[in-house]
Amino acid sequence: MILGTENGQSNLKIRSTADKKERDLLKRKLPASTISCTTNGSHKASDVLCHSGLIQVDIDDIKQREAYQLKEELSKDPLIHSCFLSPSEKLKGTIKIIPDIKLEALQAESIAKYFQDKYKAGN
């Protein structure tokens, strides 16, 4: 997070807001993107123009302190391409995958199982 920027200041405000509904409203004002692909404007598989070869991992049901600890563990995992905290201090990461939209769901399922087995994280 770059603190001297407008988004950096927005992130600080989000992190200091206790009310979840208000935090969600603030987060909707941030710029957004998808890491997995370029599309024609929707997130439908039929609109995918190019897959990046990356998939995003979200670990949302985690306490702030645990998120920081798990981030340190994940940063050492060779499967993890990048690992960071979202504006609301939830854990996010990226993993390199085969860049094929037809295989993404299967790969996501395998990744979820990996996280559950190795880190006891996820649903």
C-beta of residue 83 within 8 angstroms of C-beta of residue 19: no
Separation in Å, CA 94 to CA 14, 26, 110: 22, 24, 14
Q: Is pLDDT of 3 > 70?
A: no
Q: How many CA atoms lie within 13 A of 34 on its CB side?
A: 17
What are the structure tokens assigned to 66, written together? 């645990």
pTM: 0.66
**Residue 46 scores a pLDDT above 70:** yes
| pLDDT exceeds 60 at position 2 | no
Question: What are the start-end ranges of the H helices in the chain?
Answer: 6-15, 20-28, 64-74, 101-119
**pLDDT value at 1 more than 70:** no
- At residue 80, the pLDDT reads 94
Q: Domains of the chain by range and CATH?
A: 1-32 (no CATH), 35-119 (3.30.70)
User: Residue 45: beta bridge partners?
Assistant: none
pLDDT higher at 47 or 54 = 54
Average pLDDT over the chain reads 84
